[in-house]
A and B are shown apart, each in its own frame.
Chain A
Amino acid sequence: MSSYILFLLLGLGSGAVYAVLGLGLVLKYRSAGVVDFAHGAVAMFCAYVYIELRSNGELQFPWILIPHQVRVASSNGMAVLPSILITLVYSAILGLIFYLLVYRPLRRAPALARVGASIGVMLGLQAIAVLNYSTFALSSPPILPDTPLHIAGLFVPSDRLYLAGLTVLVGIVLAAVYRFTRFGLITRAAVENERGAAMLGHSASRIAAYNWVLATVLAAAAGILILPITTLNPGVYTLFIVPALGAALLGRFSSFSVTVIAGLVLGMLQSELTKLQTVWTWLPQQGLQDGLPFVFIMIAMIVLAKRLTARGAITDVHNPAVGRPSRPALTTAASMVIGIIAVVLVSSEYKSAIISSAITACICFSVVVITGYVGQISLAQNALAGISAFMLSHIAQSLGIGFPLGLILAALCSVLVGLVIGLPAVRVRGVNLAVTTLATAAALDALVFNNTWFSGGYVGRHVGGPTLLGLNLAIVGAGRTYPRVAFCIFIVIMVALVGFFVARLRNGRMGRIFLAVRSNERAAASIGVDVARTKLVAFAIAAFIAGIGGGLLAYQEQNINPDAFTLWTSLIILAITYVGGVGRITGAVAAGALLASNGLVPTLLNNVFNFNQYQLVIAGVLLTITAVANPDGMTKEMGAGLTKLRLKIVDAVRGEGQAAAVGVSETPPAPAPKEMVGR
C-alpha cells in the first residue's frame, strides 16, 4: 500500500511544474487573451540558459548561425543562486520581447492567428534548442534540498514536497494579488473591457506586458527547479505544455486554485500509473502517462464547454482569405501534364523532391479543408496521415488488400480517428479546439504510434508498392532507377485528383456551407445548417484527405516508422500550410514545394546550404511572422492579382449583357413556400 502513496508523492515534482506552467498560462490568458502554446518551450529554453550558466559560465541566446553564447563567468560555471537570478532576469526580458513583438500585435486577431503565432514560437525555440544543444539529455545537480524525509514509514525525497509547497504558495499569492490588489483589479478590468480600463488611465497592453513577464519568470523558475528530478531535452520540456494546458483548462483559464490542484493531481496520477503498470501488466507499457493529460483535457472540454450562444460572443474577425478556384478541371489537367513532364525529365534527386512536395501538399490539403474552409484549428492532421500509413501496411499484410481498395480502407481508418478528434469541435471552438487537437495528437503519439504492434517501433513497418491493373507502380523495381517514373506519375496524378476534389468542394454547395459555418455559426444555424454535423463531416473529409496523403507517403517510404508522424510533424504541417495560405489550394502546394523538408525548393537549397537542418526553425519563424504580419499567407497576393483581372473581365462582359437582363428579374418566381418547406 505504502508504495502506492510513495508514487503519488513522487509525482508532486512534475505536478508542480504542470501547475506553475498552468498558472503562467492563466496569467497570460487573463491579461492578454492568448493561450500561449510556447509557454513550455520558453521554460525549456530558460532551463538551458540556467544549466549553461551553472556548468560553464556562458549566457545563451535564442538564435543560430551567429555565435549564440557569451562568456560571463569562468568555465567552471557560476554558483547556483546567481545563475538562477540571472536566468530569471533573462526570462523577464525574453518574455517582454516576445510579448511586444509577437503577442501584442495579435490582441485583436482571430484565434487562428494567435494559435499560429504561439506555435511558431514554440517550434522555433524548440528547433533552436535542438540545433544549439542537440537532443542529448542533460541533468543537473540538486537545487532544492533533497534529503529523504521519513513520513509514515515512507522515505520521500523532500525536494518534491518543497516544489509542491512552493507551487501552492505561488498559487495562493497570485489568487490573493488578483483578488485584493489594485493591480489584480486593473488586470481583470482591462481584459473585460479594454477601452473602459484605458479611460481610467490604464494601458491594457502595459498591464498585459507585466502579467506576461510574470508568467515567463514563473515558467523559467519551474523549468529550473524541476531540472534535478528530470532530464533536460528540448522536446520533452517543450511538451510540458500539454499537461499544463490540461491544468489551466480545468481552471477555465481563470482559476488559480483549480489550476494548481489540477496540475498537482495530474502529476501524481501520472506517477501512480508508472506504479500501476508494474502491477497490472496488461496496461500499455509505454505512453500511458503522456495519454493522461488528454483524458484531463477531454473531461474539461465536455464539462466546461458552452453551447452555441444566442447573444454576444460576436467575433467579427477577419478570417484568412479563401481562394476561389476558377477552373479546377483545367488547372488539374494542366498540373498533371506539367507534373508528368517534370518527373520524366528531371534527375532522380529532383524526382524524389517532386513526389515529396506533392505528398506533403496532399496532407496540407486536409488543413486547407478543416482550418481554411471551416475554420477549425486541428493540430493533429499529420497524426491522421500516420494512422492511414500504418493501417495500409496492416491491411495489406493481414487482409491481403492492395491498392486502390487498401488505400481507401486505410484512409477510412483515419476518418474514424478524425471523427473522434472532431467530436469536441461540436461544443468547443477556437483556441480550445486547438488545445484538444494538440492533446489528441500527443495521445496518439504516445499510445498509438509508440505501440510496437501497431507501428513496428523503431524498425517500422513495411509497405508494399501499389499496383493497378497489373501495372507495377512501386517506387523501386528490379535494378531500376530510384524513384521509378511510373511511381512519380502515379503520385502526381493522385495528388492532382485530391486537389481537384478540394477545389470542387470549395466551389460547390459543401464549400458554401463550410464557409458559412466558418463565418458565423449562429447565422448558419438560422438558415438550416446543422453546424455540429457540418464540422464532423469536415473533420471526416479532412481526415480522409490526410489519410490518402499518409498512404502515399507510406508507398514512397516503403518502410514507415513512427518518427514520421510525431506531434511535431502535425504542428509543422499546420505551420507550413498557414505560411503558404491556409484557405487556398495554391497555399498547400506552395507549402509542399517551398517548405516541406524534402520538397522541391529545399532540395534546391540543400545544394547551397544545409536547409533540412534548419527546416523547423524556418517553419517556426515564418509561421510567427505570417500570423503577425500576413495572416492570409504568401499565396494571397498572387491570388488577389488574378481575381482583380477576372473581375475586370466579368464586369466588361456584364456591362454588355445588362440591357437585355433589365425587366426580366422584376418578376420573381414565387412558388408557395409550403412546398419548399421540409425538404
Chain B
Amino acid sequence: MRYCFYIGTCLLLIIFQTTVLSYFNVTRGIYDLLIPFVIFLSISLPVRECLPFILILGFIVDSLSGSPFGLYLTFYFWLLVGIRWSIKYLRAGNKLFLSLVVIVAVLIENILVMGTFAVFGPVGQLPAEAFRSIAQQTFWALFTGPLFLFSLLAISKRFNIQINGAAAAPKT
C-alpha cells in the first residue's frame, strides 16, 4: 500500500508538471517538482527500496523531455547518493537542512543542465535566458520547495499511521 502511495504521487507529479502547469503563465518558470519528491524518497526509504523508484522516475522524465537521454536519471541518482551521504552526518528531520537541500538540489540540477549545454551542446553556447531561468527557479524553490517537501512528509506520515497504525519517521 505504501508503494502505491509513492507510485501514485510520482505519476501525479509528472503529469501535473507536463500538463496542468503549462496552462498557467505564472508557473511557467517553475523548478523540477520531482526534486522534492526524490529528496522525500531518499530520506524516507532505505536505499534498496528507493533506488528502483528513483531510476524509474529518471527514466520516465528522460523519455518525456528533450534533454540528452540519461540526464535526469543521472541527476536523481547522484541526488540520492548525496543525500544518503549527508544524512550520515546531519539529522534528516532538521527542517533547515531539508529546506537547504531542496534549494541546493534545484541549483545543482540547473548547473548540470548548463554543463551539458556547455560541454555537449551543438555550439557550446549557453541559452540566452539562462540567468533569468535559474533565478526564477530558485525563487520558486525558495518559497514552495520546502513547503512541498514538508507536505509530502506529513502526508506520508499520516498515510502510514492509517495503514500501519504507527508513524514512520524519516530514517536517519
Query: Do the two chains bind?
Result: no
Binding site for A on B (CB under 8 A): none
Binding site for B on A (CB under 8 A): none
